Amino acid sequence: MGELGSAPALVEYFVRGGSWMWALLACSVIALAVIIYKSITLWLAGRGAASLVEESVRLIQAGQTEKAALEAKAPSSSVAAVLTSIFSAAESRYITPREAAEAAGAEEMAALESGLPVLSTIANVAPLIGFLGTVSGMIRAFTAIAEHGMGEPGVVAAGIGEALITTASGLIVAIPCFIAYSVFSARVNALALAMEVAGSRLASMVSGGDGE
């Protein structure tokens, strides 16, 4: 019976929270979509990066640069995009491999960081929306006291309930967003370091260095 009654209870709390709950609901839906999207894209961006770099180094050292270039085009990782740009630049007279790596890295970073400002904004705005609901609920409670005195505790309690529900809901939305933003930021930083190291190493080898 408890499980069957949980959904109606949530709906009841949502209604009691007042109009600001709709704004928090919108924030939670957007945040959930961004979290799912970034979880997938960041996983794909780093998949097989280390093994690809080592295989590219081995092939270049073996004099099979063309084969290394072909294998770098297959994966969808950020490191693969940087390596592909390096191999393309090796055949160009207009840009050096190192410059190509830097340009590709900057482009990949922009893609990796997309969506993170949304999570950061929601993490900061959701508690403020909850605070607005708190103020709204308290205004409602004190208005009820002014109109009916303390003889109508149910009306006063409704306003206080609205204040507490919106405050809690704002925090419930904000906390997972803040955690996800921190985790994703750390992942992006790790991928950025991997791109920088791989780009520098492969650009040196393609340009004629030893890559060590």
- Both structure tokens of 147: 């109109």
Lowest mean pLDDT across 2-11, 27-36, 141-150, 200-209: 2-11
Task: Tell me the whole-structure pTM to 2 decimals.
Answer: 0.80
Q: Mean of the pLDDT values across residues 92-117?
A: 88
Higher per-residue pLDDT: 154 or 34? 34
pLDDT digits (tens, 9 = 90+) for 167-208: 899 999 999 999 999 999 999 999 999 888 888 888 888 776
Residues 6+ positions from 195 with CB-CB distance below 8 Å? 78, 79, 82, 101, 105, 108, 109
Evaluate whether 177 touches 78 at the Cβ level (below 8 Å). Answer: no
Task: Find tokens 């928090």 and name the residue.
Answer: 24
Q: Is 184 exposed, middle or buried (0-12, 13-18, 19+ CB in 10 A)?
A: buried
Question: What are the percentages of helix, strand and coil residues in the chain, rounded to 5?
Answer: 85, 0, 15
pLDDT digits (tens, 9 = 90+) for 1-17: 344 445 557 777 777 77
Residues 6+ positions from 73 with CB-CB distance below 8 Å? 80, 84
Residue 105's Cα: distance from chain center in Å? 19
Evaluate whether 194 touches 46 at the Cβ level (below 8 Å). Answer: yes
Evaluate whether 11 touches 165 at the Cβ level (below 8 Å). Answer: no
Model confidence at 64, pLDDT cuts 50, 70, 90, reads confident
- Both structure tokens of 118: 């949304």
- Both structure tokens of 91: 């055949």
